[in-house]
Structure 1
Amino acid sequence: MASRPQLRIESGTAIDWIIFDRPDASNAFSAALLDAFSDALTTLAETGASVIGIRGEGKGFSSGVDLSEYATGTPVEDVARLRRNLDRWQAMWRHPKPVIVAIHGFCLGIAAQMPCFADMTIVTQDARIGEPGIPLGGGYIAPAWVSQVGAKRAKELAFLPGNHVDGKTAVEWGWANAAVPADRLIACVEALAERMAKIPLPVLTMKKRSINRAMEAGGFLTAVNAISESDAILHFEPSVLELRERLAKEGLRETLAQFRGESSTEIFIRFKGDSADG
């Protein structure tokens, strides 16, 4: 029996949807899914509607990298693998069409890196967006957040294992454009696309390029193009290698439990409440 495709395209009048379709695997980014994503972007550059939307099937957007395929290889091979991911995201950045990411449920690990390269990000109010639950690397995801949320908030995201923010906080930080009720997410994105599609595509393309150039002048691409090397270095750090061995022996659930705790938002709310009580 043929395997189920991990990604599908739904065509529309104003927007074409790229949909991650691995709900049983939490839409984890496998090599096959990532290759299909790159192919979809290439196909839609020349055909289809004026706007591209990206969303996940099932309970969440994506849990991030597929740990069942996680392998670093040599340091040079690891840098190349990480670089390929960034090239995929930068294909969205360079794409001639506006790209809107629609996030519901969970958006973790490199799935929380990807929207930084999109043109707009719409989230559900209860979305959970953040770092990987197990610190197997570092310096790869949060640097992409800096241009949108600032260095201190990016560090707040990165320094707590499994740290996350909800949709409303993502908007307050500047990472997302709007947080909407879960049952209105798709309708909201499609309404935005309908308005955008009133502008001729060549005009949209040049508007996108001019704004991106302003970000590039501020150093966005220079910063993110250096992160593959820093992450690969940490993959071979002895404490990380030990953690990978523990993951292989104990399994994902048990290893995650050792790092699970409150998010920074929850900690701040708790201490704010303590101060008010006192």
Structure 2
Amino acid sequence: MTTIPEDTNPVDFDHIRIEHDGPLSWIVLNRPDRANALSTEMLNEFTQALDYLKTNGGPILAIRGEGKGFCSGYDLGQVGVPRQADPVADRSRLQRNLDRFLAIWDHPKPVIAAVHGYCIAGGTQLCVFADITIVTENAKIGEPTIPIGGGYIAPLWAPLVGPKRAKELAFVPGNSIDGRTAVEWGWANHAVPVDHLLDAVRSLAARMALTPPDVLAMKKLSINRAMEAMGMRNAAAAVADADALLHLAPDVLTIRQRILDEGLKPVMESYRVPPTTDLSHP
């Protein structure tokens, strides 16, 4: 595995890495000290990397997180605190985030998400738009702990897991599923032991790379069009509006003020409850 040489790197990345690994080109989320939270700077770099890899790197892309987990979601230090109400700007920001992940869906190369540790909120959006998702058996995949969103995450799960499971996920703060459940629900393709994750992705990519790149591109496009005929892109188009609207609700503004007054961690702790995957012990 080698990092792209400096002279071929499109920009100096601070929050991600690009690595070559046989037929794979990896995009590595690289803010382990912040649990790979999606800051504006990281998202900008992610967009640049996807664009660069359209015509550079291997025929298969894969995305993973550095450190203890894949991604903790959007950086609440940037989006969780109150600021002057501007629903139009808020909606534009939210849609811009989704457009970055739709670029995975529209990318000419197949994209594999490799999830370990935690994959929360915006991290799950990224994976929904990946072509294939491989998770570790003990991965934690779910909603934000603090309920300040209006349906920005779970509606994107619905085409994969169905409406009832998407609602179960969304209605409980911080609700989550493990890797095995993610496969059972249809959110992921395979759940593997932690120490097998990268080798599993490499093995799959090597087999996929036997198919010529142009054939892969057209297979991906045709399957995506089938999903879009069933409403996938329409569902993605609606969530930014709902989220921007809820951000102005008095209850949400109260929670955001609590974050400012009390700090993020105490507010998160006040919402922690067990996930609903086991209701045998209420």
Residue 122, structure 1, aligned to residue 134, structure 2 = yes
Q: What is the letter of the counterpart of residue 60 of structure 1? A: G
5 Å-filtered alignment, 1:14-33, equals 14-33=23-42
Q: What is the letter of the counterpart of residue 147 of structure 2? A: P
- Deviation at residue 12 of structure 1 after TM alignment: 2.2
- Deviation at residue 113 of structure 1 after TM alignment: 1.4
5 Å-filtered alignment, 1:1-278, equals 5-70=14-79, 74-266=86-278, 268-270=279-281
Q: Secondary structure at the match of 1:249?
A: helix
- Deviation at residue 4 of structure 1 after TM alignment: 7.8
Distance in 2, Cα, partners of 1:99 & 1:66:
24
Q: Secondary structure at the match of 2:281?
A: helix
- Deviation at residue 269 of structure 1 after TM alignment: 3.7
Q: Secondary structure at the match of 2:151?
A: coil
Give the equivalent residue in structure 1 for 2:8. none
Give the equivalent residue in structure 2 for 1:276. none
Q: Higher helix proportion, which one?
A: 1
Q: What is the letter of the counterpart of residue 256 of structure 2? A: R
- Deviation at residue 270 of structure 1 after TM alignment: 2.4
Deviates more, 1:138-147 or 1:66-75: 66-75
Q: What is the letter of the counterpart of residue 92 of structure 1? A: I
Aligned positions, number:
268
Distance in 2, Cα, partners of 1:202 & 1:113:
26
Distance in 2, Cα, partners of 1:177 & 1:37:
23
Structure 1 unpaired stretches of 5+: 272-278
Q: Secondary structure at the match of 1:107?
A: strand
Q: Would the alpha carbon gap of residues 211 and 4 (structure 1) be closer, same or farther in structure 2, given more than 3 Å must change?
A: closer
| Cα-to-partner distance string for 1:88-115 (whole Å, 9 max, x where unaligned) | 1110001000000000001001111111
| Cα-to-partner distance string for 1:169-227 (whole Å, 9 max, x where unaligned) | 00000000000000000000011000000110000000000100100000110111111
Q: What is the letter of the counterpart of residue 151 of structure 1? A: P
Which TM-score applies when normalising by structure 1?
A: 0.94
Structure 2 unpaired stretches of 5+: 1-11
Distance in 1, Cα, partners of 2:88 & 2:73:
22
Give aligned-pair identity as a percent.
52
Distance in 1, Cα, partners of 2:166 & 2:90:
24
Q: What is the letter of the counterpart of residue 119 of structure 1? A: D
CA contact (8 A) 2:27 2:63 kept: yes
